[in-house]
């Protein structure tokens, strides 16, 4: 009798494959459920005051400093969240204008200017927030804060593209239409 036509062999093979599939799905499911259990214990909790916990640990903030930092964070978040929401709505308006049958480039330019204005405000608020945070810190904490902020902002730089190899000619620059806004 041929091995592949043997009914008993086929049933055993199907049962083994079903068991392997169930085992694989169980492993994936268990790994997904257990993942939070393996969280780094020293990692600050995410959420409302995660940055405050991090700064408290890294800078050794006193209780009074922690209260001030929480208040600074709350005030900063209230101001910036409103601006971020406005930027989101403006970008939606910009995309809506893009897909009009005849997009109005002047209107698009005005929306882009408004987005830039709000982004500028966010950057000014960020500067003011970090300045206030620096003032909460004592002198020895300020140097550590400088290093933390430097590490944070340098880690968020976009990667630089490597130049093309010497034997490959540079790519031609695309010809962009003239801007009217």
pLDDT in tens, 20-70: 999 988 888 877 665 544 444 444 445 556 788 888 888 898 999 989 999
Is residue 108 situated within a structural domain? Answer: yes
Q: Which domain holds residue 13?
A: 3-38
Looking at the fold, whether 108 and 21 belong to one and the same domain comes out as: no
Residue with tokens 């700064």: 55
Assess whether 64 and 32 both reside in one domain. Answer: no
| 84 shares its domain with 8 | no
Q: Are residues 147 and 88 part of one domain?
A: yes
- What SS3 state is found at 158? coil
Same domain, 29 and 55: no
Is residue 175 one of the residues assigned to a domain?
no
Give the burial string for 110-147 (b: 16+ CB within 10 Å, else e): bbeebbeebeebeeeeeeebeeebeebbeeebeeebee
Question: For 167, which DSSP code?
Answer: T
The pLDDT of residue 164 is: 62
Same structural domain for residues 30 and 66? no
- Whether 67 maps to a domain, the answer reads yes
Residue 111 lies in a domain: yes
Instruction: Write the burial class of residue 161 (CB in 10 Å: 0-12 exposed, 13-18 middle, 19+ buried).
Output: exposed
- The 10s digit of each residue's pLDDT in 138-174 is 999 999 999 988 888 777 666 666 666 667 666 666 6
- 137 and 59, same structural domain? yes
Residue 19 is assigned to a structural domain of this protein: yes
State residue 5's pLDDT score.
66
Query: Residues 65-94: what's their mean pLDDT?
Result: 92
- Do both 60 and 124 map to the same domain? yes
Q: Are 130 and 153 in contact (CB under 8 A)?
A: no
| Domains contained in the chain, number | 2
* Band (106; pLDDT cuts 50, 70, 90): very high
Provide the token pair at 113.
């200017």
Say whether pTM exceeds 0.75: no
CA distance 70 to 55: 11
pLDDT in tens, 107-122: 999 999 999 999 999 9
Q: Kindly state whether residues 88 and 132 are assigned to the same domain.
A: yes
Residues 54 and 117 in one domain: yes
Same domain assignment for residues 10 and 58 = no
Q: 8 with 70, same domain?
A: no
Contact 98, 108 (CB under 8 A): yes
More confident: 28 or 124: 124
């Amino acid at each position: 009798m041929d091995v592949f036509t043997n009914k008993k062999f086929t049933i055993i093979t199907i049962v083994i494959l079903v068991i392997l599939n169930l085992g694989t799905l169980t492993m994936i499911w268990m790994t997904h459920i257990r993942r939070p259990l393996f969280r780094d214990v020293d990692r600050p909790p995410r959420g409302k005051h995660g940055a405050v916990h991090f700064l408290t640990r890294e800078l050794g903030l006193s209780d009074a400093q922690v209260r001030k930092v929480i208040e600074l964070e709350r005030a900063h978040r209230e101001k910036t969240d409103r601006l971020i929401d406005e930027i989101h709505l403006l970008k939606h308006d910009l995309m809506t204008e893009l897909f009009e049958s005849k997009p109005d480039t002047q209107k698009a330019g005005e929306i882009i200017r408004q987005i830039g204005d709000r982004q500028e405000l966010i950057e000014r608020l960020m500067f003011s927030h970090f300045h206030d945070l620096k003032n909460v810190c004592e002198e020895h904490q300020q140097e550590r804060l400088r290093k933390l902020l430097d590490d944070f902002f340098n880690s968020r730089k976009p990667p630089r593209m490597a130049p093309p190899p010497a034997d490959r000619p540079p790519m031609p620059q695309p010809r962009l239409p003239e801007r009217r806004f």
